Structures are given as C-alpha cells and as structure tokens.
Structure 1
Amino acid sequence: MCGICGVAGHKPAVPIIFDALKRLEYRGYDSAGIATIGPKGQIERVRAAGKLDHLKAALAETPIQGTTGIGHTRWATHGEPTANNAHPHKVGDVAVVHNGIIENYAELKAELEAKGAVFQSQTDSEVVAHLADGFLKQGATPEEAARQTFARLEGAYAIAMIFEGHDGLLIGARHGAPLAIGYGEGEMFLGSDSLALAPLTNRLCYLDDGDWCVLTPQSAVIYNRAGQVVERPIKTQPAGQAAQIGKDGYRHFMEKELHEHPAAIGQTLANLTDQATQSFKLPALPLDLATLPRITISACGSAYYAGLVGRYWLESLARLPVDIDVASELRYRQPHQPDRGLALLISQSGETADTLGVLRYLKDHDQAILSILNVDHSTMGRDSDAVIPTLAGPEISVASTKAFTAQLAVLGALAITVAQARGAIDAKRAAELTKALQAVPHKAVEILGGEAGVQAMAKVVAEARDVLFLGRGVCMPIAQEGALKLKEITYIHAEAYPAGELKHGPISLIDKTVPVVAIAPSTILFDKVISNLQEAKARGGRILAFTDKAGAAQLKGVAEHMVVLPDSDPFTAPLLYAIAVQMLAYEVALLKGTDVDQPRNLAKSVTVE
C-alpha cells in the first residue's frame, strides 16, 4: 500500500531515498516525505501532499542533509492526503515511517493522550512515534524503545525509525507487511520491496513476520518476535532488474506494459516447458493430482478474474471440482475444506493482505498451498508449499496488464497438466492445447498492432457515463476484466454481465447512451451471444464487439464497431481478448485525459485490509 525506504550510509541520503520513492510510487502517491539526521544530530524533515514532484519542489525550497534517513510515499488510509498527515511522523527525538494499519491505534492514542501526548495528525501511524519517544523519555536506548514499541502494536505494519543524536542508526520491523534489508558497501538499506532497492544493491534479506532489525552502515542485526538474534538468508537478486522500470519511450508505463504482453506470456510458458517433450512441468506438490478431491482458488482484483478463467478450464478440461471466492470474503466465510485438498492462490505482488489471510486459513486447515506469483520471494512465496512464477517482470502501472495474461498462461498450463494426470484428456489433446497456448505470444503481437480499430471504439466509450460488458462461458471473466480496467483508469462506470443474464434485469439500463461491449469469439456460444446483442440493439444500445473473422461476418448490421482479433483455439481466447479489452481502457483514458499510471484512490500492492 504505502512505500517506505531508509538508508544508513556514508553518502547524502536524500537523493538515494528520493530515487527509491520514485520506484515505490506505484504503492501510493497521496503524499510523501523524507527525514534525515542532520549534521548536528538533529532530525530534519520535509513533507508534501500530492505526488513526488511536490516533494521535490519542497526539498528544493528547504534542503535537508545527512547520510542517515527514511522516506515514505503514502496511500491514505487513516486521515486525508494532506501534508500534515504525510510521513515521516516526528515526535520528540524519533521519526517514523509506516506501511499498514495499526488496529489498536485508538486504544493506544487514548492511553497516550491521558499521559499528555498531543497528536498533530489524523493518522494511526503517529502513535508509533509517540510510543517510541515515550520510552526514550523513560531512559530507554533507541533499540529498547523500538522493541517495547513494537510489542504494543497490533495489526499489519512495516516500520522504519531514526533517532535524534544517533547518526548511522536505522531500525525497522515488519508484521504482515513486507520489508527487505539491502546490504551495500559501507551502507545498509530498508525498502518495502526489491524494486526500491534494485539499483542500490543486489544482496537482499527479507524479514519474517515479527522480525525487527537494527542497522548501521556496517552491520545488520535481526531479532525475532521473542527478541532472539536470528539469521535470515541473504539472496542475490538477478542483475538488470532496475533497468526494467523505465518507460523506454512509451507515453505511460501502462502502454509499455501492454506491449510487453507477448514477452511476459512467452517467458512464463518457456519457464514451464520441458524442451525435450514440449509438455508443461509443474513444481512438486505434497499430493496426487490424479486423486485430488477439489481445488480452492482465491485472489483479489484482476487476479480473481484470472482465477475464474482457471476454474472454467479446470472443471471443463480436468473434470475437477473448483471452489473460488475473492480473498476478502473467503477468509471470513471459512468454508469447509476437504481432506488433502489443494489451495491455488494468485497474486502479482505476493503481499496482498487478504490473500495472505486466506493462505494462512487454508494452511491451518491442512490444504496444500500452490501460489501463482510474479514475486516468488514474497511473503506468499515463502509461505507456500510450491510456487509457479509468472515471468512478467516489474509492473509499475497500477492497473495490471501483462501480469494478468501471465497468470492466465500459468493457469492454462496447469489445467492441461492436471487434466492429463487425471485421464480427462489424452496425450494428443494435451499436445494440441499446449501448441495453442504456445502460439499466443505471436497472436498477441498481431493484436497490439491493431490500435486503429480499438481507437475508433474508444471514441464511443469515452462519451459514455455507463458501459455494459458482456461475455459468455470462459469469456465472462474477460468481460469483468474489461469493466474493471475501464473503471480503474477512466472513472467511467462499467459493469460486466453474462450475456444470457441481460434479459433478467440489466437490459432495462440500455438506451442510446449506454455502449454494450461484447467479448464475442465465434467459437464460444456465439449464436447465443448474437441473440443477446440483437436484444440490446433493439433497445437502442450501441453494440461494440471484439470478435474474429467468422464472427465479424455475422455481426455486420448488429455491431456499430468491431475489432477483429486473430483466429484462435477457444481454449486460448481469454488471453487474447484480455489484451484487447485492456487496450480499450487505455485508449479511452487517453481521450479522457486521466492519469493512466496512477489513477486516483488506488495503489498497486494492497497490503492492508
């Protein structure tokens, strides 16, 4: 949700922290701030509401110095996105940045106010600074004050602290929100994720839940929840990750990431392919796929829609029962789980709070955990029995694009493998489906070259206040993905419905001001879809269709605009049509003039409930 970073080193801290915040801005951009230990040992601080450009201007007006510091870019939870609510929070001799939610902050605040504390912000995070400063005033060392503070907190948090008069000291902690230590040469770093630290060092250590750490320029000491000194593995990150976060000449990160669909899908599938047999290989699991009683799928946002496609494939191909629910519901619905069942969790970041909650619930109920992740060293990755990685690379735009199709690629490979293991399809059919899936990257390139048709459709959608997306079968989740993308980056209200449900209520919404966007490959219940579209057209609806050549021939006179996609096996249609609906949302956003990469009220990685 929010992004935090810190440095204890020998070079000016502000440029290092500011650059790290730019790489973290996808996690939140409501406000930002930096605090350092100045030349005389005092805490110096600059904060600003809005995006990082505002902080840059504030730093130019009020420069701060020091080689030890912390920074924060905020997605507002408690308190409005104002400079006063921006982090770092400073109380007495301590400054704090925080990602997460302190669930017992109201209780702590009342306790502190009863002792005379005066709060300057509306945030829950400020209680952390008050607690730590209170312990300092009682004679505690910074390390003791931090330890006692962390012991009082309930909820999800990643925290970094600096202390007046203690240059070269940086203290961090995590519980339910990610935090990594970066090991440099004569300098140490803290960051919300590896992307923040990628240009600074390739040697990273990920704190476990309940860990806290004391950093100096030469050392890192990690303590567990019980206060014992522990060792956590230091991993070497792949070279070149930092180079992947530029726009490379594209107008927006989203545009760049749309054009990375073919590579993301191709790399993900290549990683899963046994070159000798040209079949897919999966990581070992502690159960037998052939006798698996059920799979439980859970995710949030676009990843949930990927899971819906996965359910369709697993049930239709492998004849395997699948239960699926959004993570924020499943973790509290607490459904009964079968003996030796499999939980399939999907996340781009591997840090999504609700999906992590589901992981822990299902693990407690003896389900094997298989996760599909773009960051396999994330918290979910470390807590899973097995991980299938999506090799989509960093995704900076808040609206997910290439990570979604990479997830679909993994789910397609998984469905083929499970279906063959269960005897639901033979080797010949498995080979046909595998070949169709491996042909998707080439077809994706064709789609990305068809911008003109999408742009013509976008002009109709951009004029609308409400839009309906329709799909049937395995394309229904793609209609949902299209509606979500349009809402996210254009702020146009959009809803998705199974096309067959149109006459059961939604058709009452249709008139000439409501475009109807159909996901309509000719190979998937097409005759039914045409009938549904004719019903909508008869009520004045403006029909816009994504289809193929055969479908386009039959939709003449029905659809006002069509985008003709490459012919494909119906099994792979979701991947191709997903790219097209994402392109539509992007082109509409350009026409509307909205902030494509950083839409209002959203953040990339949702690490709080």
Structure 2
Amino acid sequence: MCGIVGAVAKRNVVPVMLEGLKRLEYRGYDSCGIALCAEGQLERSRSTSRVAELEKQVSNRHLSGFLGIAHTRWATHGAPTTDNAHPHFSGKRIALVHNGIIENHAELREELKAQGYVFSSQTDTEVIAHLIDRFYRGDLLKAVQAAVVRLRGAFAIAVICGNEPQRMVGARQGSPLVVGIGEHENFLASDALALAGTTNRIVYLEEGDVVDIHLNDCHIYDAGGKPALREVRMVSVYAGVSELGPYRHFMQKEIFEQPRAIADTLQGLEGIAPDLFGADALPVLRKADSVLILACGTSYYAGLTAKYWLESVARIPVEVEIASEYRYRDSVPHENRLVVTISQSGETADTLAALRHARELGMDGSLTICNVATSAMVRECALAYITRAGVEIGVASTKAFTTQLTALFLLSLTIAQIRGRLTPEQEAEYIRMLRHLPAAVSAVLALEPQIIAWAEEFSRHNDALFLGRGIHYPIALEGALKLKEISYIHAEAYPAGELKHGPLALVTEKMPVVTIAPNDDLLEKLKSNMQEVRARGGQLYVFADSDTKIVSEEGIHVIRMPENYGLLSPILHVIPLQLLAYHTALVRGTDVDKPRNLAKSVTVE
C-alpha cells in the first residue's frame, strides 16, 4: 500500500523521487503526486493515473527542486481523486505525505475547522498537515513532534516546509519508514527498494521515532523525544528487480522464478536442526506444546497448509487464525504456545498487531516466516526463518507463497525432531525430497501450454468452484483467491466433502469446477465428489497425479501432474492454479500485476 519517497540534496531531486515511485508501484495505488520546495515556495503536481503520467506533468511544468516529497496513494478516506491525492498542503508552507490511517481524524478535523482551517479533501491525511501548521513556530521538528502526540492510529509521514528549504522531517507509528544516507544528501522512503541505485546505507526507524533530516546529517528522536541511535545498515537491494526480461508481466516472471526461489530458501540445508530458526531456537521450540499461526490472505492459506504438516509430522496441536480477527475476540492465552506469524513483507499491519496482542496475553515464544530480513516482523519476533523469494512485484503472491510453504515444512520437521518424532531415516528422505523440489516445480511449469488452452474456456465464465480435500483444501482456497484477484472471476473454494452441504446448488453446465486430485488416502472419496458434480452437469477441470487413473472424458478435463510428491504435494499443486489464474486474466485483458482495488503490502488495518 501507499509509497513514500522524500529527498533533500544539492541536486534536483525530481528524478530520484520519480524513480523511487516507480519502484514502489508494485505496492498498489490509485493516485500519485509530488511536492517540491524551490526558493522557499512549495509547488506540487498530482495525478489519478500512473506515475508515468505524473512524470509527464512534472516535465511539462519544468518542476525542479533540491527538497521534495512524493507519494503513491491507495485510497482509504475519500475516493481516488486529484483533491484527495498526496501531497497535502496546509496553506503555503506545509506539505505532507502519509501512509496509514488516523483513527481520530474526525474529531481533529472539527477542532481545526473551529480554528479557521479550511479542508480541500476528504482524507484523514489533510488533518495532519493542518495540525502541524497549527503547531509551527519556525521549527518543523518541534511542530511534528507536537502533532504526532495528538494522532491515534498508524502512520508514516514525511513533511517539508517552505520556510526551511533544506529540511525534511519524518515520523512513524505502526507503518514502515526508512532513512537513506547519502553524500551531502539524505532520503526518506517507505521501502528501501525505492532508494535502490541511489543509496544502500539504510536506517530503519523504530516505533514512535521522529527523524530530522538535513543535507549533511540526520537526527533521530524516540517516542519520548529523546535522541536515539539507530544502526546504519548496508542493504543491497537489486535495482534490476523491476526489469521484466522476456516475460509479459511480473506475475508470470515470479511464477517461473519459483524453482530458483525455493532453492535459495533451502540454500545451505544439510540437515534438520533448531538453529535453522535462530541461535536461541532450541529452548523456545522445546517449550512449545502447541502452535498458534497468525497471518492474512495468501499467508493465511500457507498457515492452514502448515497445520496439516505440524499435526501429522510433529504431532503438535495447531490453531490458525486470521490476524485481523484474532485480536478482536476473547481468546484463551497459553504461555507455552508458540506464536508463528507469516508475512511476505514483514510489515502487514494486522499481523503485527495480532503478534503484539499475543505477547500482551503472555505468549512470549514467537517465530516469523518472512521474506524481508529487515522488517518489523523479524525485529519483533524471537525467532525467524527468512525466505529468499526475492522482491515480489506482482500484487498476487506466487513465489512468496511457495517459499513460505517450504519454510513451514522445515519448521514442522524441526519441531518433530525436538519432540522425538523424526527418525534419521525419515529426516534423510525429507531432505532428499526438499532438494529435488526445485526440479519437481520446473516439471510442473512445463504444463503451461495445456493450461493456456483451459484459460480460454475459463475466461468466458463469471464464476468458478475449486475443490480439494485434506491438505489440498488450503491450496484450493489459494487457487480461488488467485483467480478472483487478477481475472475478477468470482471463485470460491470448498472441501470437496462439503459439496452436498450447499455448494452443489450452484453447479450447472456453466460452472467450471477445478479439482485438485493427488493420489493420497482421500482419492476415492474425492472421485465420489467429482461424480456428484458430473451428475449435475458440471464441467470438471482436474489436476491429477499421474497414477490416479482419472481420465479425460465428456465433462471431465484432466491435466496430469508429473509426479506424486507426498506431503510436499501442495507446493506442486498450487503452481498450475497460479498459471490458470494468470492466463485467464491475460485472455480477459485485466491489469495482471496491479489488479483493481488491491495493494501489495497491506500496512493499514
């Protein structure tokens, strides 16, 4: 969601900020804008189109400056209009961009209106700009510090003032913000990727921090207003991650990067050991007598899959909770429960809040499966396993999901070993399977031509059902999510055994039913469910293991998977579902990488 880029330098900062916005486009947005301070005057340009259009506007107006802030907005308060786009001004001296949601914006708005401030937008963000202006007495830092005390909610802000043309102030609470350190120039951004190619010296601000940025120095203050030291890290963010190469879309590229991503996630794996999850992992994992998994969206489906692994291999009870629901209900805390969070970005607001809630309840043992080593999630959890999927640009997650599953399988084996439920022979066999996994995924990717043929048919429908049983039910959920996310086809997933309890009412010859059919203990049950579909005229599209003896016939379309992969089968079976969603969206002509109304990194509640 929403991206921030800010810069103060001795050169024109417009190219840096526009390039930064382009790198943040993958997060999702529906408007964008830039504000510059030139000779003590604030100027801005805003657009409800893409960053490329903003770039044209800036060029046509010949805007330039040594101090500026820029933003991509994903609409929350107010429609995606130019008036609601960031940056927001207060008078002629304060300009501000903001990620997050201000929960007490309504009362602050009324208070500021009573003091004579006029609002030109429907956003909660404009409240912050006017609030800072109200406190401004010639010192931008003090004005921001005074204003943020009044704010309730999540925010990351970057602020400039026309009266102070070589100064930028940032603050964060519940939303990520980083400082980029340069030579006689410094930067602010919501993501280090925005600064790739500009600087690799990054400071990650902590909760409540306020940063005062000048040409040659940066001063950080904690939530109490005291000076704070934060580590400067060398962060190597590959500037070429936004290059498509031979692919049409980033989603397609990332689907085909999965063999490499899984291999990288398993890099250096020699055997199963607690220190895979951190030097202090053994006592934390040994203490656990149950597991609580907290996640959202695709990561939640990874957690549902892991529940099967953890309970069958490690024989440990598991609960999987949607993070946004968990902290708003009365749950029963258990001090020996291991809390596992799953997040691609490590900044997912609901998951972070759920983690903090669990800790407040006394559950201190925590572990995260995350793709970003420098994220808030990693910093706040006792243990971590960093997946190495690389930057994922497409909004619909693919390689992040399969690498999460890979890491969760390792966690299942590790807990099984600690609990005495993993023999050396079993460990060796699982290691062999994991090492072969990238090659097995590559073989599934070779099915793409057959899936393209199916996509043509799927594109003509507005609804679809996905069926799975057991450990493949969460994969059916993920397949349905992918199809609805990028093709806008309404898709739902069910455990196949639930058909007769309601969903069969939807089945007609116009309803394609995608079925995941591995050769496992539930295969015969699944075949009976498939016959229930055929008896109602439904069209079955089956991804079947080669030895299932399911054959193509009238009303049953079969694509054969290259091999049966046992417990790791979910990782293989999700690949064709990703390809089906991608190619269906391609036929329908939707914006595959930036589907409507969605954002990549959900940093607001």
TM-score by length of 1: 0.96
* Residue equivalent to 2:216: 218
Output aligned runs, 1:293-372, within 5 Å: 293-364=289-360, 365-372=362-369
* Residue equivalent to 1:508: 505
* Residue equivalent to 2:553: 557
CA distance in 2, matches of 1:527, 1:103: 52
Displacement after TM superposition at 1:293 (Å): 1.3
State whether structure 2 residue 40 is matched by structure 1 residue 45.
Answer: no
* Residue equivalent to 2:170: 172
Displacement after TM superposition at 1:278 (Å): 10
* Residue equivalent to 2:181: 183
Contact 1:254 1:597 in 2 (8 A): yes
* Residue equivalent to 2:466: 469
Give the AA of the match of 2:46: R
Structure 2 unaligned blocks of 5 or more: none
CA distance in 1, matches of 2:235, 2:145: 30
Displacement after TM superposition at 1:253 (Å): 0.6
SS at match of 2:164: coil
- Tell me which of 269, 272, 281 is aligned to 2:276: 281
* Residue equivalent to 2:107: 107
Which range moved further: 404-413 or 453-462? 453-462
SS at match of 1:608: coil
CA distance in 2, matches of 1:579, 1:253: 15
Give the AA of the match of 2:58: L
Displacement after TM superposition at 1:116 (Å): 1.1
Give the AA of the match of 2:304: L
* Residue equivalent to 1:63: 62
* Residue equivalent to 2:562: 566
Give the AA of the match of 1:416: L
* Residue equivalent to 1:141: 139
State whether structure 2 residue 598 is matched by structure 1 residue 599.
Answer: no
Which range moved further: 251-260 or 437-446? 437-446
Displacement after TM superposition at 1:580 (Å): 1.2
CA distance in 2, matches of 1:608, 1:154: 13
Contact 1:257 1:402 in 2 (8 A): yes
Structure 1 unaligned blocks of 5 or more: none
SS at match of 2:550: helix
Displacement after TM superposition at 1:135 (Å): 1.9
Output aligned runs, 1:378-527, within 5 Å: 378-527=375-524
Displacement after TM superposition at 1:134 (Å): 1.6
SS at match of 1:302: helix
CA distance in 2, matches of 1:410, 1:289: 15
Quickly say closer, same or farther: Cα 1:186–1:492, change in 2 above 3 A.
same
CA distance in 2, matches of 1:523, 1:199: 49
CA distance in 2, matches of 1:279, 1:428: 18
Contact 1:516 1:543 in 2 (8 A): yes
Give the AA of the match of 1:114: A
SS at match of 1:20: helix
CA distance in 1, matches of 2:333, 2:266: 31
SS at match of 1:338: coil
- Tell me which of 241, 265, 269 is aligned to 2:266: 269
> Could you list the runs of 4 or more consecutive aligned residues of structure 1 that deviate by over 4 angstroms after TM superposition?
277-280
* Residue equivalent to 1:548: 545
Give the AA of the match of 1:62: R
Displacement after TM superposition at 1:420 (Å): 2.0
State whether structure 2 residue 13 is matched by structure 1 residue 13.
Answer: yes
CA distance in 1, matches of 2:213, 2:400: 34
- Tell me which of 130, 147, 150 is aligned to 2:148: 150
CA distance in 1, matches of 2:524, 2:192: 49
SS at match of 2:604: coil
CA distance in 1, matches of 2:539, 2:275: 43
* Residue equivalent to 2:203: 205
Displacement after TM superposition at 1:395 (Å): 0.3
CA distance in 2, matches of 1:290, 1:214: 44
Which range moved further: 262-271 or 287-296? 287-296
Which range moved further: 505-514 or 163-172? 163-172
Contact 2:274 2:282 in 1 (8 A): no
After superposition, give the CA deviation of every residue in 1:455-498 in whole Å (9 maximum; x if it has no partner). Answer: 11212211111100000011000000000000100000000000
Contact 2:173 2:208 in 1 (8 A): yes
Quickly say closer, same or farther: Cα 1:324–1:267, change in 2 above 3 A.
same
Contact 1:257 1:401 in 2 (8 A): yes
CA distance in 1, matches of 2:469, 2:240: 40
Quickly say closer, same or farther: Cα 1:126–1:17, change in 2 above 3 A.
same
Contact 2:274 2:281 in 1 (8 A): no
Displacement after TM superposition at 1:11 (Å): 1.6
State, as a whole percentage, how many aligned pairs show the same letter: 47
Which range moved further: 491-500 or 46-55? 46-55
Give the AA of the match of 1:542: Q
CA distance in 2, matches of 1:95, 1:28: 23
Contact 1:289 1:422 in 2 (8 A): no
Displacement after TM superposition at 1:334 (Å): 4.0
Contact 2:346 2:376 in 1 (8 A): yes
Quickly say closer, same or farther: Cα 1:288–1:164, change in 2 above 3 A.
closer
Contact 2:295 2:341 in 1 (8 A): yes
- Matched positions, count: 602
SS at match of 2:303: helix
Displacement after TM superposition at 1:62 (Å): 1.9
SS at match of 1:178: coil
SS at match of 1:289: helix
User: What RMSD in Å do the two structures reach over aligned CA positions?
Assistant: 1.5
Contact 2:257 2:399 in 1 (8 A): yes
Contact 1:537 1:558 in 2 (8 A): no
Which range moved further: 219-228 or 23-32? 23-32
CA distance in 2, matches of 1:387, 1:536: 43
After superposition, give the CA deviation of every residue in 1:241-269 in whole Å (9 maximum; x if it has no partner). Answer: 22222112211110110111001111101
CA distance in 2, matches of 1:311, 1:493: 27
Which range moved further: 428-437 or 322-331? 428-437
CA distance in 1, matches of 2:554, 2:470: 21
Contact 1:3 1:192 in 2 (8 A): yes
Contact 1:31 1:49 in 2 (8 A): yes
CA distance in 2, matches of 1:333, 1:316: 28
Displacement after TM superposition at 1:524 (Å): 4.7
Contact 2:100 2:156 in 1 (8 A): yes
Which range moved further: 557-566 or 404-413? 557-566
Quickly say closer, same or farther: Cα 1:75–1:212, change in 2 above 3 A.
same
Which range moved further: 159-168 or 555-564? 555-564
After superposition, give the CA deviation of every residue in 1:266-317 in whole Å (9 maximum; x if it has no partner). Answer: 110124x137x89993323263534521100010000000000101100011
Contact 2:447 2:576 in 1 (8 A): no
Contact 1:524 1:570 in 2 (8 A): no
CA distance in 2, matches of 1:264, 1:162: 40
CA distance in 2, matches of 1:28, 1:160: 19
CA distance in 2, matches of 1:112, 1:133: 10
SS at match of 2:211: strand
Give the AA of the match of 1:586: Y
Displacement after TM superposition at 1:3 (Å): 0.5
Contact 1:8 1:69 in 2 (8 A): yes
